[in-house]
Amino acid sequence: MLFHPIARLALLQYATRALASTNYTSEALNPQLTNTIGDKGGPILYYNGSGPVPPYNETSPIPAPFTPLYPTNQTENYFYNQVAAIVANGSNYTTKCEKCLASTNVFHEAAISQPVSVVTDLLIRVWNITHFPIYAVTGESEFSGVGGLGPYWAQLFAKMNESTGDYQAWCYYQWDTCTVPPTIEIDESLYFSPKPPAASVVPKPSGKTINVLHLSDWHLDPRYDIGSEANCSQYLCCRPYSTNTKLDTGVSNASVPASRFGYLYCDSPPDLALSSFKSMPSFFNVDDISFSIFTGDIVSHDNDDQLSRAYVEYEETVTYEVFKAEMGNIPIYPTLGNHDSLPEAYNTPNNIDGKKTAGANNIFSWNYDLLSSMWERDGWITAAEANHASTHYGAYAHTTAQGLRIISINTDFWYVDNVFNFFNFTNPDQSGILKYLIKELEACEAKGQRAWIIGHVLSGYDGSNSLPNPTALFYSIVARFAPATIAGIFFGHTHEDQLQIFYDYSATSLNGTLRNTNDIDISKPLTMGFIGPSITPLTGNNAGYQLYQVDAETFEITGIQTYFANVSESLTWTSPVWQFEYDARSTYNVNGTWPATSPLNATFWTDVTYSMLTNQSLVERYNLLETKSSVVTKNCSTAACAKQKVCYIRSGSGGQGYACPYDDGPF
Ligand SMILES: *[C@@H]1O[C@H](CO)[C@@H](O)[C@H](O)[C@H]1NC(C)=O
Ligand SMILES: *[C@@H]1O[C@H](CO)[C@@H](O)[C@H](O)[C@H]1NC(C)=O
Ligand SMILES: *[C@@H]1O[C@H](CO)[C@@H](O)[C@H](O)[C@H]1NC(C)=O
Ligand SMILES: *[C@@H]1O[C@H](CO)[C@@H](O)[C@H](O)[C@H]1NC(C)=O
Ligand SMILES: *[C@@H]1O[C@H](CO)[C@@H](O)[C@H](O)[C@H]1NC(C)=O
Ligand SMILES: *[C@@H]1O[C@H](CO)[C@@H](O)[C@H](O)[C@H]1NC(C)=O
Ligand SMILES: *[C@@H]1O[C@H](CO)[C@@H](O)[C@H](O)[C@H]1NC(C)=O
Ligand SMILES: *[C@@H]1O[C@H](CO)[C@@H](O)[C@H](O)[C@H]1NC(C)=O
Ligand SMILES: *[C@@H]1O[C@H](CO)[C@@H](O)[C@H](O)[C@H]1NC(C)=O
Ligand SMILES: *[C@@H]1O[C@H](CO)[C@@H](O)[C@H](O)[C@H]1NC(C)=O
Ligand SMILES: *[C@@H]1O[C@H](CO)[C@@H](O)[C@H](O)[C@H]1NC(C)=O
Ligand SMILES: *[C@@H]1O[C@H](CO)[C@@H](O)[C@H](O)[C@H]1NC(C)=O
């Protein structure tokens, strides 16, 4: 299958042989435990969990339980025995799907009648007999220990309801047992007015441009251990405990010792992260950047039982201090990533407990408060916008000095890893985040103001990250407000340099008031999604960032340059070596026919996809650039791979991505 039972970001890949040169510089293995790069007055950054970095075993506050709806006098064993019977061979449940559905129903019954401690204990006992996939060492550490997921899952189970297909969705997307639930059709009349003719008019280029920086997936690792195993076979490499089980190596005999400047399978050590900023003046005039967008993900890819609220707060705090110190008065417009929360990816709708006060009862308010207060402190958004963000999952809209409206939304509400997306599954907007987006776009349309949408988890591409129902509604929103109002959409998350094209629907997509959002017309391109490359090399990528040239009035993208650091060479560095990688217009204008005055818009990129289908070297070029020219890039040398890639680029929703031909290669 395309995705893991729990589809966390990246599949772990690792080399079976050492890739790095043996010519190590002494600086690459300098064991000094604080940054050596960075002179702009930012905070000290630490290696190996030293200094103020919170320890691995730090525990976190847990959410208050819901009042049990139907208290009963049943014992924990009553529920445990049912699940044990369901999962046992010889029960009346024969398929994995049936076992999953029936067990989930028992958990629902327990959650609405028992104290949270009983649900947590049941999870551990059931894990003990089934070993279902978790991101922790034991069931204890996942559900009641440092990971502490039990009280969250108890809330989810209490809210689940058969009538909205929640069990099937949970059993398919989280456990890969049942078949995929159908994508809902969208009744657009419930959300917005029909598209007026003016909304299809593309504004004329102004001929003037500004520069904008796109940063994504920073993933600073303050626990990065210089000299440890960088070529490891489990999450996370470059840690004191990392080993390569095939090579029988570890910290004492590392097959690739972790350079202090980073490696392909590790998150960003301090000096790599800081070097991204340090490299910029050698490529462009930083003072000419009008503003920057940061499409999320600050925290390292630790397992659940190594993460704590203290650790997430620490990472978020030092990261925004670094960003402010490095970028000075150039504003940064951030969005919240799935790793910028605790537990990873978890966000609940504000009304989950049935009370209506915006944000007041949200168990993640501590995080939205922290982030929004830093964004306001740094002068990037106003007090009123920060207040909106603190009560609406980090979402805000801000008009830049140039007149562009930036609308930042929390895409965890369509991310498969956010367990709270598995109740009321057929509601594409349980949190209201998409209604907020619509409200903002309507205001822009009324004023003739152009908007960018920024978010972390991409809405489509291969479909493995984004749930079809909310991204179906998102697609309809884009089709309604592009190309006149939406000038661009920006994501991160995959760590790769990728594109997503949005199209208008086919005439056949509408049946009465219901829209089949998979029925799109490739001859009608509307707008672009740009997926920014990551600073972190994880997993098997190089580090990178992008500079855009943007039309100063229409805010269409007119140019893109990517810069990267080839981390497979990091042991030979005395400091990270950053290089220019490619210019999008000169790389992809393969016929030489796209006018220099025209933006790199959805029409241009659709032409590029047609070229990819007939020009294998072009699709291989795209494939290599996806990883920022990593030495471990997988081949894309067949027509089948080209077809799949083009399908992904043309997929702007989860449902569209799932419909692409899938073949796990080798291509
Ligand atoms: C080490 O450096 C020497 C001299 O620069 C070079 O000839 C040799 O190929 C390098 N070895 C590796 C493994 O890169
Ligand atoms: C990192 O910490 C571990 C203990 O967790 C220690 O064994 C190792 O030597 C430390 N690494 C460095 C570079 O100080
Ligand atoms: C965490 O680990 C440290 C040793 O690394 C130990 O001293 C401390 O007691 C532990 N704390 C908890 C809460 O387990
Ligand atoms: C639970 O047991 C107590 C004492 O045996 C009884 O008073 C109470 O009504 C029972 N509650 C339920 C919900 O059955
Ligand atoms: C059920 O049977 C399968 C295959 O025969 C076996 O691998 C598994 O452990 C059994 N499960 C239980 C709970 O007995
Ligand atoms: C299977 O179903 C039959 C008939 O409904 C029932 O009598 C039996 O107890 C069930 N077996 C198990 C293991 O649940
Ligand atoms: C789960 O298994 C572990 C290891 O066998 C054991 O120590 C623990 O008590 C078990 N937990 C429960 C709740 O049964
Ligand atoms: C499930 O949803 C149905 C229909 O909305 C509702 O009648 C029922 O009360 C819900 N059940 C639970 C346990 O929430
Ligand atoms: C579920 O979503 C529907 C709209 O699809 C909404 O009317 C209903 O209130 C929601 N139910 C819950 C429990 O939030
Ligand atoms: C349109 O919807 C109606 C009612 O839901 C259904 O019976 C019909 O088959 C649909 N038509 C098409 C072309 O999908
Ligand atoms: C892209 O730009 C070209 C040239 O300016 C224009 O003709 C076309 O309509 C634009 N396409 C979109 C989707 O904005
Ligand atoms: C190049 O020309 C071919 C043939 O007309 C066309 O299919 C393709 O879309 C064009 N590619 C670009 C990038 O313009």
Q: Which tops the pLDDT comparison, 242 or 354?
A: 242
Lowest mean pLDDT among 74-78, 155-159, 284-288, 521-525: 74-78
Give me the DSSP letters along 615-657. -HHHHHHHHHHHTTS-TTPPP--SHHHHHHHHHHHT--SHHHH
Cα separation, 494 vs 529, in Å, equals 13
Give the separation between CA 630 and CA 427, rounded to whole angstroms: 40
The arithmetic mean of pLDDT across residues 160-179, rounded, is 97
Convert the pLDDT of each residue in 562-609 to its tens digit: 999 999 999 999 999 999 999 999 999 999 999 999 999 999 999 999
8 A C-beta contact, residue 20 and residue 568: yes
pLDDT band at 27 (very low <50, low <70, confident <90, very high): very high
Backbone angles phi, psi at 209, to 5 degrees: -130, 160
Domain boundaries, the chain: 76-145+149-181, 188-201+212-574+588-658
* Residue owning the nearest CA to atom 7 of ligand 8: 163
> For 285-337, what is each residue's pLDDT tens digit?
999 999 999 999 999 999 999 999 999 999 999 999 999 999 999 999 999 99
> Which amino acid residue places its CA nearest to atom 5 of ligand 9?
427
Q: How far is the CA of 240 from the centre of ligand 2 (A)?
A: 6
Write 512-516 long-range contacts (CB < 8 A, 24+).
Answer: 513/187, 513/188, 513/189, 514/185, 514/186, 514/187, 515/185, 515/186, 515/187, 515/188, 515/472, 515/476, 516/185
Let me know: does 237 contact 263? Beta carbons within 8 Å. yes
- Please report the beta strands in 54-194, taking only residues with DSSP state E, as ranges in sequence order: 186-187
Counting ligands in written order, which one lies closest to the CA of residue 435?
A: 9
CB 561 within 8 A of CB 546: yes
How far, in Å, CA of 473 to CA of 643, rounded? 26
pLDDT in tens, 246-261: 999 999 999 999 999 9
User: What spacing in Å lies between the alpha carbon of 263 and ligand 3's midpoint?
Assistant: 29
Residue 299 structure tokens: 């925290």
Model confidence at 655, in pLDDT bands (50, 70, 90)?
Answer: very high
Q: Is the pLDDT of residue 7 over 50?
A: no
Please give the pLDDT value at position 359: 67
- Closest ligand 6 atom, CA of 88? 13
Mutational pocket test of ligand 11: of 601, 604, 607, 608, the residue with most ligand atoms within 8 Å of the beta carbon: 601
Could you identify the atom of ligand 7 that is nearest to the CA of residue 127? 1
Q: Which residues pair with 578 in a beta bridge?
A: 565
| Residue 240 near ligand 2, beta carbon < 6 Å | yes
- 352-372 pLDDT per residue, tens: 877 766 666 799 999 999 999
Q: Is residue 279 within 8 Å of residue 578, measured between CB atoms?
A: yes
pLDDT at 639 over 90: yes
Residue 257: strand pairing partners = 229
Q: To which H or E segment does residue 579 belong?
A: strand 578-583
Task: Give the list of residues 6+ apart from residue 359 with CB closer than 8 angstroms, or none.
Answer: 350, 365, 368, 390, 391, 392
% of the chain surpassing 90 pLDDT: 91
466, two tokens: 């984004």
pLDDT digits (tens, 9 = 90+) for 37-89: 998 999 999 999 999 999 999 999 999 888 776 777 788 999 999 999 999 98
Q: Looking at the CA of residue 112, tell me the nearest atom of ligand 8.
A: 13
Q: For the segment 619-636, what is each residue's pLDDT rounded down to a tens digit?
A: 999 999 999 999 999 999
- Where does the pLDDT of residue 1 fall: very low under 50, low under 70, confident under 90, or very high at 90 and above? very low
Please state the atom number of ligand 4 nearest to the C-alpha of residue 70.
13
- The residue nearest atom 3 of ligand 1, judged by CA position, is 23
Q: Whose CA is nearest to atom 8 of ligand 3?
A: 57
Rounded average pLDDT over 33-37 = 98
pLDDT for position 235: 80
Query: Between 183 and 9, where is the model more confident?
Result: 183
pLDDT at residue 587, as a whole number = 98
User: What is the overall mean pLDDT for the chain?
Assistant: 94
Ligand 5 nearest atom to the CA of residue 88, by list position: 13
Structurally, at CATH architecture level, domain 188-201+212-574+588-658 sits in: 4-Layer Sandwich (3.60)
